[in-house]
Amino acid sequence: MGPNPEGLASYTKSKGAFVMAYAPLGHEGTELITGDLVTEIGQAHNVTGVQVALRWIYQHNVTLTTKAASV
């Protein structure tokens, strides 16, 4: 969602559109899974970086959909 995800979300809402996280965690090894920020926040709350990222999405009312990498 870029460097200002809250700005993007508020802009789209003002236009009557919605933000959707299609692949909210990116791919293995991305900042949203193992980055310093989510890791530090996760350690402070005894959760994983993935849980931190998904909680942010939930708290900001972003529509979420996932995909399977394998069947």
How many Cα atoms within 13 Å fall on the side-chain side of residue 15?
A: 9
Is a pLDDT exceeding 80 seen at residue 47? yes
- Looking at residue 12, its pLDDT comes to 83
pLDDT, mean of residues 50-66: 84
Q: What is the pLDDT of residues 21-43, one digit of tens each?
A: 777 777 666 777 888 988 999 99
- Looking at residue 64, its pLDDT comes to 81
- Which has more pLDDT, 12 or 42? 42
Q: Cα-flanking dihedrals φ and ψ of residue 9, to 5°?
A: -65, -45
Secondary structure letter of residue 22 according to DSSP: S
